[in-house]
Amino acid sequence: PIIIISRAITEADTGTTVVAVEVPAKHFIPPHGVSIYVAEVFAGGTPSLDAGDGDDVDGWVDTVDVTETTIGSYSGDPTNTGAYSDNGRVYLTADTIDVVVAASATGGTAYLIVTMYDLSDIDLAAS
């Protein structure tokens, strides 16, 4: 597996969508392959972090699965949301894993940790 860690996502990103990790074409992210690690608690307003892609803004980790005010690692819970958390996802075309940072954050640091597998040498076409 390839493990990618994003740049620090901080209060400076408040109210934005951060392009956190590039996913090349023909890569597989396994179930629970995307986690948000809160290294410094978020403060200000109502802290909220969602991780998803171009098709689903919280497809990997929904804010209901993250305690932004507690240091720790959080992955999506398919019983709540996180459409990809239970089965993973094959990216046939390139995409990005993005983090939506709620407005009004005055403190906090998080990182996105993504595990993926390169399938570019494998024929994934239907037979």
Read off the pLDDT of residues 32-54 as tens digits, 9 standing for 90 and up: 999 999 999 999 989 999 999 99
Amino acid symbol at 51: A
For residue 119, count other CB atoms closer than 10 A to its CB: 16
pLDDT band at residue 80 under the 50/70/90 scheme: low
For residue 36, count other CB atoms closer than 10 A to its CB: 26
Residue 9 CA to residue 112 CA, distance in Å, equals 8
The whole model's pTM is what? 0.93
